[in-house]
Amino acid sequence: MKQTRLTMLSCALAIATVAIPAFAQEPAADPTAAMSEEQKAMMEAWAKAAAPGPQHARLAEQFVGDWTSTTQFWTDPSAPPMTETASATSKAMFGGRQIRMDYSGQMMGAPFEGMSLTGYDNVSGRYNAVWMDNMSTGTYVMSGDYDEASKTYTYTGAWPDPMQAGKMVQVRETVRIVDPDHHVIEMFESHDGDERRTMRIELRRVE
């Protein structure tokens, strides 16, 4: 079977080698020539939805790079926070349409790994953030907006409460750009109408 597949591949490559020069002599056909007006409008809409824009460029400028982080988290609002340090690397994906961050450190003395995806949806006009890590089987999704005056992204969402099956916890996250090499992430949860801060992550760019 393996030999047959290789033979078929060789034939295909041989045909392509002969055919490509012949086709190259003819003018390229207009792919929209046979389309209806509705199909052309659909094609234009999808092209607009898929095109990276200034929002994507700003995300890349603000977040792509290597970072060190200091994380504070509160399990009891009345007690001092616990503090951990970690590192993160962010890269642009899919032609700049998404920013992927890989996060690695410690959490309560155990190895901690997490990954996030952040992007801007041209259709909804909102930013989306996805998070997953090795201390959960969940995938956490939020959406939000950016305030130019305060240079702050604000995301909201609802996550399942592991302490109460079937109950959702309202969450809010802010990402404040202090300067090109420094930003602060804060996470808040609402329980019975009372919002409290649960996490603060300060990230600084590695020079």
Instruction: Give 28's pLDDT tier (boundaries 50, 70, 90).
Output: low
Total-model pTM: 0.81
Separation CA 169–CA 193 (nearest Å): 10
State pLDDT tens for residues 79-124: 899 999 999 999 999 999 999 999 999 888 899 999 999 999 999 9
Hunting for tokens 């930013």 — which residue is that?
127
Enumerate residues 6+ apart whose C-beta is below 8 A from 206: 65, 66, 67, 68, 87
pLDDT of residue 25: 53
At 13, the pLDDT band (50, 70, 90 cuts) reads very low
The lowest-confidence range among 6-15, 91-100, 150-159, 166-175 is: 6-15
Considering only CA atoms, which of 3, 124, 91, 57 is closest in space to residue 141? 124
| Token representation of residue 186 | 């804060």
Residues 6+ apart with CB under 8 A from 147: 153, 154
Find the Cα–Cα–Cα–Cα dihedral 20, 22, 26, 31, rounded to 10°: -30
**Is residue 23 over pLDDT 60?**
no
Spell out the residues 6+ positions from residue 114 whose beta carbon is closer than 8 angstroms to its own.
102, 103, 104, 131, 132, 133, 134
**159, 171 Cβ separation under 8 angstroms:** yes
Residue 199 · residue 187 · CB < 8 Å:
yes
54-205 is a CATH 2.40.128.20 domain: yes
Please name the residues in contact with 81: beta carbons below 8 A apart, sequence gap of 6 or more: 72, 73, 74, 200
Q: What is the DSSP string of 154-178?
A: EEEEEEE-TTSTT-EEEEEEEEEEE
